[in-house]
Amino acid sequence: MRGFILGVVITILMFVVGGYLFVHGGGVSMATAAPPLPLEKTVAKMALRASIGNAADLKDPLPFDDSSMLAGVNAYKQQHCSFCHGAPGQVRTAISKGMFPSPPQLFEKEDMVTDDPEGVTYWKLTHGIRLSGMPAFADALSDTQRWQVTMLVAHADKISPAVQAAFGQ
């Protein structure tokens, strides 16, 4: 029994010391340009999914119309979301290009969140995403404004000419 316990203790110590030496020796690059570590994306996604919980059940209480979408554009501009996430007809900033993880370009087809449950998008912009650069907007935007921005990015593929024009002002 004593030998078994000693074995467990030595194994744990080996993991701790091994982990320390790996990180200390530069095994975990903190450069944004470095490729993701093995399992980094899997672990980050798992933790994010667990944090979001059942927010997917939340439904946007606002009617889908241009006035909510236009208010969404206002909030999007006011909080400089486009600085990281872009906007229709806008050139991507160097800061956005240099970040890790890369901020999804919410008005470009391949990055749109139009298929995500609105409750999840609302959760992300309310609480932010740790270690990613995505801020929490619970204090900066009212509940209504967060639903308006959610509506905007959730319908990024269906913006009317009036909403499109509002980005340019």
Contact residues: ligand HEC, CB under 6 A: 76, 79-81, 83-85, 99, 101, 103-104, 113, 121, 124-125, 129, 132-135, 137, 149, 153
Shortest Å distance, C-beta 92 to ligand HEC = 12
Shortest Å distance, C-beta 122 to ligand HEC = 9
Which residue lies nearest ligand HEC, judged by its C-beta? 81
> Distance between terminal CA atoms of the chain?
75
Shortest Å distance, C-beta 129 to ligand HEC = 4
Question: Which CB, 20 or 71, lies closer to ligand HEC?
Answer: 71
**Residue 101: cis peptide before it, omega within 30 degrees of 0:** yes
CA 78 from chain center: how many Å?
19
Question: Which CB, 9 or 46, lies closer to ligand HEC?
Answer: 46
Shortest Å distance, C-beta 5 to ligand HEC = 41
Question: How many residues can be counted in the chain?
Answer: 169
| Beta carbons within 8 Å of 133's beta carbon, 6+ residues apart | 84, 99, 101, 103
Question: Which CB, 19 or 80, lies closer to ligand HEC?
Answer: 80
Task: Give the CA radius of gyration of the chain.
Answer: 21
Shortest Å distance, C-beta 54 to ligand HEC = 17
Q: Give the C-alpha separation, 122 to 108, whole Å.
A: 19
| Beta carbons within 8 Å of 102's beta carbon, 6+ residues apart | 96
Question: Which CB, 69 or 153, lies closer to ligand HEC?
Answer: 153
Question: Which CB, 27 or 36, lies closer to ligand HEC?
Answer: 36
CB 141 within 8 A of CB 148: no
Q: Give the C-alpha separation, 41 to 108, whole Å.
A: 22
